[in-house]
Amino acid sequence: MFVVQSYPLAVFLCVVTMLCWGSWANTQKLAGKEWRFQLFYWDYALGVYVLSLLLAFTLGSWGANGRSFSVDLAQAETRWLRSAFMGGIIFNLSNILLVAAIDIAGMAVAFPVGVGLALVLGVLTTYLSTHVGNPPMLAAGVGFVIVAIVLDAFAYGRLARGKSGASAKGILLSVTAGVLMGLFYKYVAQSMGRVESQGGVVVLEAGKLSPYTAVVVFSTGVVVSNFVWNSLIMLWPFTGTRVPFRDYFTKGSVRLHAVGILGGMIWGTGMAFSIIASTRAGAALSYGLGQGATLVGALWGVFVWKEFKGAPKGTSNLLAAMFVCYVAGLALLILSKS
Full DSSP string of 262-291: HHHHHHHHHHHHHHHHHHHH-HHHHHHHHT
What's the one-letter identity of residue 329? G
Question: Residue 167 — pLDDT band, cuts 50, 70, 90?
Answer: low
Inform me whether the pLDDT recorded for 226 exceeds 70: yes
CA–CA gap between residue 62 and residue 69 (Å, rounded): 9
Mean of all residue pLDDT scores within the chain: 89
Using the predicted structure, report yes or no on whether residue 106 has a pLDDT greater than 60: yes
Least confident window among 120-124, 195-199, 208-212, 268-272: 195-199
Instruction: Name every residue whose Cβ is closer than 8 Å to that of residue 25 and which is 6 or more positions away in sequence.
Output: 99, 102, 107, 110, 111, 263, 297, 300
Give residue-wise pLDDT tens across range 191-201: 998 887 766 66
**Within a 13 Å sphere around the CA of 317, how many CA atoms are in the beta-carbon half?**
3
Question: Rounded distance, CA 159 to CA 156, Å?
Answer: 5
Contact in structure between 218 and 85 (CB atoms under 8 Å): yes
Burial of 122 (0-12, 13-18, 19+ CB in 10 A): buried
Give the contacts of 322 (CB within 8 A, at least 6 positions apart).
112, 148, 151, 152, 155, 298
Alpha-carbon gap, residue 60 to 130, rounded angstroms: 23
Q: How many helices and strands in the chain, by DSSP H and E?
A: 15, 2
Greatest Cα-to-Cα distance within the chain, rounded to the nearest angstrom: 67
8 Å CB contact between 140 and 332: yes
- The predicted-structure confidence for 281-304, as pLDDT tens digits, reads as follows 888 788 878 877 878 888 898 888
What's the average model confidence in pLDDT over 213-226? 98
Asked if 274 and 286 touch (Cβ cutoff 8 Å), the reply is yes
Half-sphere exposure of 244 toward its Cβ, with a 13 Å CA cutoff?
6
pLDDT tens-place string over residues 7-45: 899 989 999 999 999 899 999 989 988 899 999 999 999
At 313, the pLDDT band (50, 70, 90 cuts) reads: confident
Per the CB < 8 A criterion, the answer to whether 142 and 329 are in contact is yes
Q: Which residues pair with 197 in a beta bridge?
A: 202
**If pLDDT is split at 50, 70 and 90, which confidence band does 251 have?**
very high
Per-residue 3-state assignment (H helix, E strand, C coil) for 155-193: HHHHHCCCCHHHHHHHHHHHHHHHHHHHHHHHHHHHCEC
* pLDDT in the model for residue 306: 85
pLDDT digits (tens, 9 = 90+) for 46-57: 999 999 999 999
pLDDT band at 229 (very low <50, low <70, confident <90, very high): very high
Q: Above 70 in pLDDT, residue 165?
A: no
Residue 66: pLDDT band with limits 50, 70, 90: confident
Domain ranges in the chain are 7-335
Confidence (pLDDT) at 168 = 78
- Residue 4: CA count within 13 A, CB half-sphere: 23
Interval 122-147 mean pLDDT = 83
Higher pLDDT, 176 or 293: 176
Q: Determine the pLDDT at residue 228.
A: 98
For residue 249, give the H/E element and its range: helix 247-250
Percent of the chain with pLDDT over 70: 95
Over residues 100-129, mean pLDDT: 83
Cα(315)–Cα(149) distance, rounded to whole angstroms? 14
DSSP E strands, 194-235: 195-198, 201-204
